[in-house]
Structures are given as structure tokens and as C-alpha cells.
């Protein structure tokens, strides 16, 4: 074990000149891994949607199940003509997809994607661990709306402006409920570090069972945060052609679209970590006496993550879209008081927990 640690410190440490470079390459690999998982998310959505609708989804590119369909779509988007309309607000319009993509990628550094358990100690696989990670994650995921508003305003198009206004109205309402549920989890745990939150949930007492109201509120707010049906008024094709994305074509549109899927992937990761026990084993596996070592926690984490994403996709294809005034009224009149009730319940739980 010491030899292994010695090798790791030599390769990745600051003693020689190659340390920071190799760490940078590993960081880029993490980014690449997220993009591959976003590709998987797109494939999952298309295949699961086609199963719900009695049809076959993509089945040509990449074998019988169409696994590489997104690569074909990306090639198509790269080879389209880049149309820049005349009267758009140049820097604002061009920078908007970059901002959305950047804010989605900034969430990667704080999320642990599972853990490596060896000899009783847990090494969570996160890029960094810092003490306020859950607060940082929520803050960064809200930067994306500035990008959408820039896209809507800079496009010089009435449909885009209406979409941008709707977007801001939706986010203001649901960020509050999201923040309150996260705060209630933090109160029970006693620390803002996301690794501590996962470790505080054993195998049976996941926070989803202890705070069911909080879980439901968090689920609804997360779907509103990610901008998916039934809350996707900002890109409603029926009323507003394509919402904020009307004037974008080719890879600009592809970048923003991909950023939404990355947001969906990372949002599901956060839901798994905070409420569903992260990489802890579910109760029925403990009875089989499977020890939790090595990279098994990563497998458990990925399985839970896939289930959460399938649920998000199911909600998209099963419900109609809600009107914007109904969205804000649900957010402020129903979710906000319920989140306060949940906060009180979490405070009581926090006393019991620490005792």
C-alpha cells in the first residue's frame, strides 16, 4: 500500500515538473467522461421515449441499438452553415451558448462519482472536496439562466425575448424551493460537504425515506431547474418556434443543447447523492453479504443514477406542458410553504440525529 501511495505521489505530486500537467490531463479526461455520459443520456432518452411510444428508436448508427447516433448528429451540426443574423447583439449572442456550457461543466469539480473503498477507508472519486460543495453546486447550476437570458435578448427576436422572460420567472420561483430542501438536508447532516452528506446516510436510512416530503419537493424543483417538460416553457416549440434557440443554427445550437443534457446528468447525480444514499448499498444487498470494497460503490452509484434518469425521461413523455402563470403559482403558492414545513421537520430530525 505504501509503495502504491509513493508512486501516486511521484506521478501526481508537485515535486517534479510533470505533476500539474498530468493532473490537468486527468481533469480533461473527467470532462470527456461527462460528455460521454451526456451522450449516453441522449441515447437513453431517445430509446426509452421510443419504447413508450411503441416504436423503434435509433437503430442504424453503431450497431442494432444505435449507440453512436449522437456522433452522427454532431457531425451534421458541425457541417451546417453558421448563420449570423444581421441585427443581433454580437458578443452577447455569440457568448450565450459558451456560458451555458461553461456553467454546466463547472459543476464537475465538486461532485463525487462514487468511491474507492480499500482497507476500510473511503476515497471519494471527486476532483476536489471542499467544505461548501453543496452550496457551490447549487449556485453554479443557476448561472445557466444568465446564459439563456443572453441568448434570448441578443437574438433580437420577439419569440426569444418572451422565452427568456418566462425562463427567469420559472427559475426565480424554483431556486427558492430547491435551496430550502438542500438546506434541510444540510441541517440534518450538520455539514455542507457533499461527501459527509453521503456518509451520514447508512444503508437503510436514506434521506428519501426519512424526509419524503423533501424528496418530492426536491424532485419537482430539480425538473424545473433542468428545464424539462412539464416545465419547458422557454423552448416550447408550439408557441414560440424554438424559444431562445430560434436564431441559433449548427454547432452553436448543438452546444447549448448538449449543455442542457449535461445539466440533466449532473442534476441526477446530485439527486442520487443527496437523497438516495449516494454510493451506499441498498438494504436487500446487505442480506446477501456482499462486502462493499473496491469499485463496487461506483457501480451502485451508476445504477441508481440510471434509474433516476429514466424517471426524468418518463416524466417528460407522459405529461403535457404547464402554462407559465400556473408554473409560477405552483412554485410560490404550493412548493414554497411545503418547503418551509419540511425545514421545520428537518430541524426536529437534526436534533434527534446528533443525539
Distance (Å, whole) CA 269 – CA 194: 12
Q: How many residues bind other proteins (CB under 8 A)?
A: 33
**Minimum CB–partner distance for residue 230 and other proteins (Å):** 6
Q: Is 297 in the site for other proteins (CB under 8 A)?
A: no
CA contacts within 13 A on the Cβ side of 9: 7
**Minimum CB–partner distance for residue 327 and other proteins (Å):** 10
**Nearest-CA neighbor of 217 among 184, 265, 258?**
184
Pull the grid cell for residue 4: 502504491
Nearer to other proteins, 233 or 342 (CB): 233
Site stretch for other proteins (CB under 8 A), options 35-43, 133-141, 170-178, 323-331: 323-331
Q: Is 55 in the site for other proteins (CB under 8 A)?
A: yes
Nearer to other proteins, 92 or 229 (CB): 229
Contact 129, 193 (CB under 8 A): yes
How many CB atoms neighbour CB 254 within 10 A?
A: 19
Return phi, psi of residue 103, to 5°.
Answer: -70, -30
**Nearest-CA neighbor of 305 among 136, 60, 111?**
111
Site stretch for other proteins (CB under 8 A), options 176-184, 193-201, 217-225, 320-328: 320-328
Site stretch for other proteins (CB under 8 A), options 49-57, 94-102, 171-179, 273-281: 49-57
Q: Is 212 in the site for other proteins (CB under 8 A)?
A: no
**Minimum CB–partner distance for residue 83 and other proteins (Å):** 17
Return phi, psi of residue 35, to 5°.
Answer: -65, -35
Distance (Å, whole) CA 354 – CA 188: 8
Among 134, 148, 177, 236, binds other proteins (CB under 8 A): 236
E strand or H helix at 122: strand 121-124
Q: Is 335 in the site for other proteins (CB under 8 A)?
A: no
Distance (Å, whole) CA 20 – CA 138: 28
Nearer to other proteins, 311 or 353 (CB): 311
**Nearest-CA neighbor of 304 among 339, 275, 336?**
275
**Nearest-CA neighbor of 107 among 38, 197, 46?**
38
Site stretch for other proteins (CB under 8 A), options 13-21, 227-235, 271-279, 334-342: 227-235
Nearer to other proteins, 87 or 289 (CB): 87
Q: Is 222 in the site for other proteins (CB under 8 A)?
A: no
Which residues on adjacent β-strands are paired with residue 121? 118
Among 53, 119, 121, 354, binds other proteins (CB under 8 A): 53
Distance (Å, whole) CA 52 – CA 50: 5
Q: Is 60 in the site for other proteins (CB under 8 A)?
A: no
Nearer to other proteins, 40 or 311 (CB): 311
Interactions with other proteins, residue window 172-201 (CB under 8 A): none
Q: Is 89 in the site for other proteins (CB under 8 A)?
A: no
Return phi, psi of residue 172, to 5°.
Answer: -60, -40
Among 46, 239, 249, 353, binds other proteins (CB under 8 A): 239
Q: Is 220 in the site for other proteins (CB under 8 A)?
A: no
Distance (Å, whole) CA 121 – CA 251: 44
Rounded to a whole number of angstroms, the distance between the first and last alpha carbons of the chain is 37
**Minimum CB–partner distance for residue 5 and other proteins (Å):** 48
Distance (Å, whole) CA 194 – CA 303: 19
Nearer to other proteins, 103 or 233 (CB): 233
Q: Is 138 in the site for other proteins (CB under 8 A)?
A: no
Pull the grid cell for residue 319: 405529461
Q: Is 76 in the site for other proteins (CB under 8 A)?
A: no
Among 1, 2, 5, 54, binds other proteins (CB under 8 A): 54
Contacting positions for other proteins (CB under 8 A): 48, 50-56, 158-159, 162, 166, 229-230, 232-233, 236-241, 314, 317-326
Amino acid at each position: 500500500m505504501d509503495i502504491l501511495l509513493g508512486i501516486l505521489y511521484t506521478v501526481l505530486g508537485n515535486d517534479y515538473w510533470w505533476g500539474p500537467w498530468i493532473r490537468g490531463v486527468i481533469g480533461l479526461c473527467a470532462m470527456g467522461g461527462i460528455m460521454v455520459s451526456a451522450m449516453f443520456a441522449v441515447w437513453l432518452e431517445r430509446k426509452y421515449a421510443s419504447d413508450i411510444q411503441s416504436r423503434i428508436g435509433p437503430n442504424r448508427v453503431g450497431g442494432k441499438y444505435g449507440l453512436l447516433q449522437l456522433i452522427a448528429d454532431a457531425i451534421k451540426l458541425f457541417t451546417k452553415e453558421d448563420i449570423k443574423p444581421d441585427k443581433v447583439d454580437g458578443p452577447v449572442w455569440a457568448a450565450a451558448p459558451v456560458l451555458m456550457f461553461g456553467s454546466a461543466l463547472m459543476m464537475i469539480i465538486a461532485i463525487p462519482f462514487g468511491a474507492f473503498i480499500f482497507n476500510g477507508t473511503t476515497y471519494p472519486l471527486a476532483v476536489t472536496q471542499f467544505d461548501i460543495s453543496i452550496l457551490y453546486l447549487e449556485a453554479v447550476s443557476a448561472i445557466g439562466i444568465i446564459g439563456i437570458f443572453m441568448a434570448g435578448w441578443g437574438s433580437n427576436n420577439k419569440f426569444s425575448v418572451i422565452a427568456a422572460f418566462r425562463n427567469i420567472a420559472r427559475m426565480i420561483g424554483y431556486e427558492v424551493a430547491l435551496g430550502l430542501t438542500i438546506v434541510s438536508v444540510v441541517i440534518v447532516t450538520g455539514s455542507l460537504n457533499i461527501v459527509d452528506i453521503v456518509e451520514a446516510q447508512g444503508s437503510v436510512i436514506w434521506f428519501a425515506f426519512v424526509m419524503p416530503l423533501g424528496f418530492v419537493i426536491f424532485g419537482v424543483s430539480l425538473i424545473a431547474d433542468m428545464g424539462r417538460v412539464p416545465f419547458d416553457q422557454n423552448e416550447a416549440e408550439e408557441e414560440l418556434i424554438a424559444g431562445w434557440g430560434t436564431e441559433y443554427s449548427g454547432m452553436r445550437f448543438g452546444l447549448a443543447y448538449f449543455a442542457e443534457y449535461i445539466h440533466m446528468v449532473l442534476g441526477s447525480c446530485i439527486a442520487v447523492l443527496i437523497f438516495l444514499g449516494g454510493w451506499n448499498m441498498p438494504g436487500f444487498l446487505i442480506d446477501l453479504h456482499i462486502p462493499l470494497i473496491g469499485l463496487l460503490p461506483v457501480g451502485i452509484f451508476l445504477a441508481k443514477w440510471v434509474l433516476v434518469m429514466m424517471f426524468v425521461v418518463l416524466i417528460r413523455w407522459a405529461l403535457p406542458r404547464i402554462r407559465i402563470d400556473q408554473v409560477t403559482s405552483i412554485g410560490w403558492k404550493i412548493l414554497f410553504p411545503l418547503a418551509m414545513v419540511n425545514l421545520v421537520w428537518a430541524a426536529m430530525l437534526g436534533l434527534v440525529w446528533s443525539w
